[in-house]
Amino acid sequence: MSSVVGVERIPYDEFALFHENAEEYGLPYDGPPEVRREAVEVEPGRHVSALVWGHDDPELVLLHGGAQNAHTWDTVAMALGRPLVAIDLPGHGHSGRPPAGAHAVGQHAIDVAVAVESLAPHAAAVVGMSLGGLTSLALSKHRPDLVRRLVLVDVTPGVDEAKSSHIVAFVNGPESFDSFDELLARTIEFNPTRSVSSLRRGILHNAQQREDGTWVWRYARFREGGGTMPPEFGELWDAVSAFHGPILLLRGMAEGSVVSDADEAELLRLAPSARVERIAGAGHSIQGDQPLVLAHLVEDFVS
């Protein structure tokens, strides 16, 4: 119980909401899936956290986008039904603080490599959305032995400030919120096509309530100073041309996508054998807008 008198506490069990995912997307459900949380020390005093699905050797590694967490993949993971690992990027979800002053995807890749080597060294593919996709590209340069196939979910190195301005506006919002309802209202405002139930579930996974009753995004716990501006990622085009495994780009075609026709063309110029799938009815977060379509395409790609 909270030590603050009169503060309403909202209960949260991260493994108690899977039935909502199943109900919303019509998935069969005969009880909670086998999922556990693991922590991997990446250096003394710092760890990366992950959700490990199933008990067999993980076949996939899933990396979420900036300001998200591993639970963004829950519906996709349930639809796939494969053993896999969904990682919380450094500073996100249940992972610990990133190195002081380090927010570059190169550093994320170094930390993620330690976690992948520990939890899923034989995975058939790495699936990365947005920041997770850019981290996947950096990982393919840092540890190519850990990235056999690569799925980029609505991102290329061509993403820039203009294309991601709507995302930056949301992420750079208030550092804390007086109530859950206030946090939900802002989330609905920036995600008008998503169901309220899915957004509520996402907030419970991605925010935490303080002892005084206020709420803070998990990714904002380690924010230094004010908001952030997106860096340039053009140097990662080299990772695209250097990667020798199969590549699948999943591009959202609704408002909010950060991939342009020029980005798609550049990807195919550097990796002519890459496969591109355009997803109708999905914006940037394809795993939230069209999770079953995403799961089907990933299944087809790795099979």
Residues recognised as catalytic: 130, 154, 284
Spatial separation of the C-alpha atoms in residues 226 and 208, rounded to whole Å: 20
> What is the distance between the alpha carbons of residues 161 and 56, in angstroms, rounded to a whole number?
41
Task: Please state the three-class secondary structure of the chain as a single string.
Answer: CCCCCCCCCCCCCCCCCHHHHHHHHCCCCCCCCCEEEEEEEEECCEEEEEEEECCCCCCEEEECCCCCCHHHHHHHHHHHCCCEEEECCCCCCCCCCCCCCCCCHHHHHHHHHHHHHHHCCCCCEEEEECHHHHHHHHHHHHCHHHCCCEEEECCCCCCCCCCCHHHHHHHCCCCCECCHHHHHHHHHHHCCCCCHHHHHHHHHHHEEECCCCCEEEHHHHHCCCCCCCCCCCHHHHHHHHHCCCCEEEEEECCCCCCCCHHHHHHHHHHCCCCEEEEECCCCCCHHHHCHHHHHHHHHHHHC
Kindly list the distances between the CA atom of residue 221 and the CA atoms of 44, 116, 279, in Å, as whole numbers in the listed order.
20, 24, 33
Cβ atoms of residues 115 and 95 within 8 Å: no
Residue found by looking up tokens 């053993």 in the block: 83
d(CA 299, CA 293): 10
